[in-house]
Amino acid sequence: MRPVNTPWKGSEMSSCFKIFKNLYRDSVSLMQVSARISKLPGVAQASVAMGTEANRAQLRDAGLGDAAGAGPNDLIVAVAGDEDACELALSTAADLLSSVEEADSAACNAKAAVVSLQAMLEAEPATNLALISVPGDYAAAEAEKAIRLGMNVMLFSDNVSLQQEKAVKTLARERRLMVMGPDCGTAIVNGMPLGFANVVRRGAIGLVAASGTGLQEVTCRIDQLGAGVSQALGTGGHDLHEEIGGISMLHGLDALIEDAQTRVIVLVSKPPAQAVAEKILARARAAGKPVVVNFLGAEPALIERWGVHVASTLADAAERAVALLKDVPPAINDDAREVAAREALVERRSQLAPRRRYIRGVFAGGTFCYESQLICQRQGIVAFSNTPIKGNHPLDNVWQSTAHTLVDMGDDAFTRGRPHPMIDPTLRNERIVAELRDPETAVVLFDLVLGYGAALEPAAELTTLIGDASRTGNDLPLLIAHVCGTDADPQNRNHQIHALREAGVLVANCNAQAAYWAAYVANLQKAE
C-alpha cells in the first residue's frame, strides 16, 4: 500500500484523508473498517471508500475533503474530528487494511492468486457463481464477464442503472443463468449465507425475494418455527419494475420449481408492476408446489384469484409456508400470550404523559420500515417518512421527526459517507435517543438485525444509552423492538433479546407484531 496523506481544515473541525494507491477492498470490508474508526474517541465522522468520482463527490458533500489525487482503483480513508483523533483514525485504518492484506497474502501463499474471473475458472472449473462487489460504475461490466463465462451472479454493488440491469439480466436469461441484484444484499445458496444473511437450518422451503431484510425476516422466522430453507435467492429491489420485468424472480421461481429439495416456495416483494405481477403469479399457479406470496401492501383478492397462498406480513409468509410444509392449518396467534402483551402495553401506557402521542420508528431495515408504515396506516395512523408509502407524507427534514414518523436509517440520506446501520448502529442509536428525549414521543419502535456482516453486539451500546436516558427522568416513552435473527447467528438472537428486555424494551416476535403494538399504544393515547 502506498498512502498519500492530505490534511485540511474545515470550518468547525480538523479533517484529513489518506489515499492508498491501487488497493481494492469489497464494500462490506470497507464499511467494517469505517465502523471501527468511527467509534474512536474524538472522531465525528469517518468514511472508507474506493476513489470513484461518485464516492469522491459523496465525501465532498459530507465535508470530508476532495481526495483529488485518488482514482477509481485507489482506496480513500477520510475522517473528521479532533486533530489528534483524526491522525489516530488514519493510522488505525491503515493497520486494519494491512491486516487484511497480510491475510490475503497468506492465503495466496497457500494457493496461487487469481486476478480475473477467467483465472478463477481455470483454477476451479466447477465454479458457477460470482459474487461481485465493486463500485457501481464497473459492476455491470464485471457481471457481464461472469455471465459470458457461464456463471450465475450475485451483484452486491448498487448504483447500477436500470438500463444496465436490464441488459445484464437479459444476457443471463438467454444463457439460462440468474443475476441476483444489483444491490442484492442477502442470499443463501446451497446452505452458504452470502452478504447480510443469517444462520438458518437447511430444509425444504425455497424463497425468492426482492428485499434483503424481507428475505432475512422470513428465513429467520422459518428457522424459529423449526423448519428450514433450501435456497434463498435475492433479486435486487428493481427487478419487479416494469422496465426489468421480473427476470430474476421468474428465473428463481423456475429454479425452485425444478429443485427436488424444495417442497414449498415463498415469494416476497413490494407490489410489482401489474404486468410483471401477472407473469409471476401465472408461473406460480402452474408450479405444481404450494406457493406463498407476500407482495407487501398489495390487495389480497388480486393475488388469491391466481390460486396461490397470500400472506399479509413477512412473518405470516413464514408461518404459512411452514404450515403447508407440515400439512397443518396455519398457526393461530396465541390469544393468551397476546392478551398478556396487551395488558403489559396498557400498564406501560398508563404511565405516559398525555402530551406523548406519537410513534417514532427508527429502522435499520428498509423493508421493516415499509411494512411498519403499512401496518400503522391500517390502524388509522398516517405517518411521515424519508421513504413514505402511498398515503403517508415525506419528511421536510429527514433529520427531524414530526408527528408520527418512521425513518429508514439505511437510506442513502443517512449512509452517504457512513457505514450502514446494520454494520455500525451509532447514528441509528443517536436517533433513538433523540426520540426518547422528545416530549411528544409515545413509542420508540425499532429493529435489531443480526447475521453475518452485522454489528457483533448491536444491543450493548444501545442499552447503555437507554440506561443513561432513563436516569435523566421518569417520564420516558415506551420502547418496542423486534430482533431479526437466529440463536445460531454470531450475535445470538436470544442474547440480544435478553439484553433489550433487561433495559426495559418490549420485544415482539416479529416486525409486524412490533408495529401493531406501537399502533395500539398510539391509538390509546389519542383516545384519552
- Give me the pLDDT at residue 471, please: 78
Backbone angles phi, psi at 348, to 5 degrees: -65, -40
Domain 115-183: which topology?
Rossmann fold (3.40.50)
**CATH architecture for residues 335-527:** 3-Layer(aba) Sandwich (3.40)
| H helices, E strands: number in the chain | 18, 21
Are 445 and 411 within 8 A, CB to CB?
no
Residues of the chain falling short of pLDDT 70: 1-12, 26-28, 100-114, 331-337, 417, 473-474, 528
Report how far residue 61's alpha carbon sits from residue 74's, in angstroms, rounded to the nearest whole number.
19
pTM: 0.84
- Give me the pLDDT at residue 473, please: 65
Question: Nearest-CA neighbor of 154 among 125, 116, 128?
Answer: 128
The domain spans of the chain are 3-110, 115-183, 185-332, 335-527
- Give me the pLDDT at residue 401, please: 97
Are 455 and 35 within 8 A, CB to CB?
yes
Element (H, E) at 347: helix 335-349
Are 20 and 2 within 8 A, CB to CB?
yes
Question: Which residues fall within 8 angstroms of residue 463, CB to CB, at 6 or more apart?
Answer: 499, 500, 502, 503, 505
- Give me the pLDDT at residue 325, please: 97
Could you tell me the CATH superfamily of domain 185-332?
Succinyl-CoA synthetase domains (3.40.50.261)
- At 107, the amino acid letter reads A
Report how far residue 454's alpha carbon sits from residue 464's, in angstroms, rounded to the nearest whole number.
19
Are 482 and 515 within 8 A, CB to CB?
no
- Give me the pLDDT at residue 444, please: 98
- Give me the pLDDT at residue 110, please: 44
Are 240 and 295 within 8 A, CB to CB?
no
Report how far residue 351's alpha carbon sits from residue 373's, in angstroms, rounded to the nearest whole number.
25
Query: Kind of pairing, strands 384-385 and 358-363?
Result: unpaired
CATH of 3-110, one of 3.30.70, 3.40.50, 2.60.40, 2.60.120: 3.30.70
| Residue 12 three-state SS | coil
Reading the block at residue 29, the C-alpha cell is 470490508
Which strands form 14-20's sheet, in the order they lie side by side? 3-9, 14-20, 75-81, 43-50
- Strand pairing partners for 309? 292
Residue 460 CB-density burial (10 A; 0-12 exposed, 13-18 middle, 19+ buried) = middle
- Give me the pLDDT at residue 54, please: 75
Question: Nearest-CA neighbor of 379 among 514, 221, 218, 232?
Answer: 514
Give me the sign of the Cα torsion angle 497, 501, 505, 506.
positive
Which DSSP letter does residue 504 get? T
Measured from the Cβ of residue 37, the count of other Cβ atoms closer than 10 Å reads 24
Question: Which residues fall within 8 angstroms of residue 475, CB to CB, at 6 or more apart?
Answer: 352, 353, 356, 439
115-183 matches 335-527 in fold: yes
Question: Which residues fall within 8 angstroms of residue 109, CB to CB, at 6 or more apart?
Answer: none
